[in-house]
Amino acid sequence: MVSKNQLQLVGENCPGYVNNNNASGINSSITDESVVSCETCIHWDKGKCNIDLFDKVVSDLDQT
């Protein structure tokens, strides 16, 4: 199971991250949804990255 910390770390380092609020053009106030995380990315669907970057970013982070 992936932790919230890991989801945030991957989101912050992912080249494909696009905030789902930005995609809709809605400016949100500071909420949990404005935190950079896989869970707030438009590519995160049903607990998985639909552009297959999660594992690559995790691997890159493990090597630093």
* Alpha-carbon 36 to chain mean position: 6
pLDDT at 22: 65
Predicted model pTM? 0.79
The token pair that represents 26 in the structure block: 């809605």
Residue pLDDT, tens place only, 11-63: 999 999 999 986 555 454 445 557 999 999 999 999 999 999 999 999 999 88
Q: Which residue type is seen at 14?
A: C
Q: Tell me what pLDDT residue 1 has.
A: 84
d(CA 9, CA 43): 16
Closest alpha carbon to 2 in 31, 37, 42: 37
